[in-house]
Amino acid sequence: ALIIGITRAVRLPMKYTVVTVVCFVLSPLTQELHLLGRIDHHMIEYTFVLGTLLAGIYWFKDTDNKLMAISLGLILGLSTVFHNGLFILQIPLVITTLILWLLNSRGPVHTGTLALSLTVTTVLTLLPSQAFQEGYFSYIYYSWFHLYIASATSITLIFLSRTSVCNKSLVQLLILSVVLVLPVLSEIFSGVRFIGADISLYENIDEMASPLSFVNGTMNDFFITIRKYSALFLLLPVGMASLGIWSLSDRSPFKIFFLISSLMGLILMLSLARLNYYGSYTLYIPLFIGAMMLSEYQSRYKHLVTAFATALVIIAHTPSVWSLFESRPLGGYFDYAYDFDGDFPIEY
């Protein structure tokens, strides 16, 4: 439902919405997150990534809508309850608001409502946290760090909505940024080390590997990547270029937000295999946005473009679709694949 909502929000025609849903369903990444018996945080992280994206698009379509401001703040505030790392979903919101501020001299008028919703939700959900009660300040725990980030986001958004671009406000923004970043500098470096898998403990963990590792690997590593991400992985430059052209063509706020969110998601997806859900939608939605633009530019060939895009998706998923028919242990965890005596694997 969220994928369908996003495709409709970015104004993809229904035919491309249908093909997008097919891509989502066939993707081994989707299948991996929703295996029978799998209950973990990865699936709910994906849900909040898509939910934030959808709510953010509608907020930037109509920043005068207080209900959408409250909804977006609520989603962002609740997301960190389910996983401590989801505070990064606030980054595209701040960057997009900053870009709009630089372009239009003032941020959205009702940003204060969003900021209040985010801060209040974060405070209320933090109250039962033991780490919060004991005064911890770390992104590893659901702690004061998350309240600080929500507060920093809120302060920045309010500043951008209350000032206009000038030399004085630029200096004030720079000072504000330095003041807000300094207390979390060590946490930022720690997070960057984690994303870069720059920790010896992670060297031999598959999900901590980058899907780009095949560049320095073997042909087998290449086929493993294609099998997991589909051959659409090879078309990421085309899709992201199309998205850039679409987003910057008229500088619509919601398009800029979608572009910034997609770029961040793409970076995370390419950094670690376990972070694929932050950017897996960039494998197909940007391509269909490009197909939509091409259809509008060459309207007499729109049916041909649709047929070509559909055929391309089917062919691209051929290397990975066979994984749908493989027997797998419950939940996808081989630790659970044996009975209590350890005699035989339990598969479905």
**DSSP three-state, residue 338:** strand
pLDDT band with cut points at 50, 70 and 90 for residue 347: very low
**Does 61 or 329 have the greater pLDDT score?**
61
C-alpha distances in angstroms, 178 versus 102, 107, 119, 169, 309? 19, 20, 21, 14, 46
User: Residues 77-90: what's their mean pLDDT?
Assistant: 91
Q: What mean pLDDT is reported for the chain?
A: 83
Tokens for 191? 């997070």
Tokens for 208? 């901590």
208-245 pLDDT, tens digit per residue, is 667 776 666 666 677 777 878 888 888 889 989 999 99
Give the number of other CB atoms < 10 A from CB of residue 103: 12
306-321 pLDDT, tens digit per residue, is 888 888 888 887 766 7
User: Residues 257-283: what's their mean pLDDT?
Assistant: 89
**Distance between CA atoms of 61 and 55, rounded to whole angstroms?**
10
**Distance between CA atoms of 95 and 90, rounded to whole angstroms?**
9
pLDDT at 340: 46
CA terminus-to-terminus distance, the chain? 27
pLDDT band with cut points at 50, 70 and 90 for residue 286: very high
Give start and end residues of each alpha helix (H) in 182-235: 185-195, 219-229
Question: What one-letter code names the amino acid at 206?
Answer: D
User: Residues 102-128: what's their mean pLDDT?
Assistant: 86
**Does 187 or 194 have the greater pLDDT score?**
187
pLDDT band with cut points at 50, 70 and 90 for residue 194: low
Q: Is the pLDDT score of 333 beyond 70?
A: no
**Does 327 or 139 have the greater pLDDT score?**
139
126-184 pLDDT, tens digit per residue, is 999 998 999 999 888 889 999 999 999 999 999 998 888 888 889 999 999 999 999 88
1-11 pLDDT, tens digit per residue, is 889 999 999 88
**Distance between CA atoms of 41 and 275, rounded to whole angstroms?**
12
Q: Is the pLDDT score of 200 beyond 60?
A: no
Query: pTM for this one?
Result: 0.85
pLDDT at 271: 84
b/e string for 309-331 if b means 16 or more Cβ within 10 A?
bbebbeebbebbbeeeeeebbeb
5-43 pLDDT, tens digit per residue, is 999 998 888 888 988 888 888 887 877 777 666 677 777
pLDDT at 297: 78
Which residue is associated with the tokens 């330095």?
A: 178
Give the number of other CB atoms < 10 A from CB of residue 289: 24
**DSSP three-state, residue 54:** helix
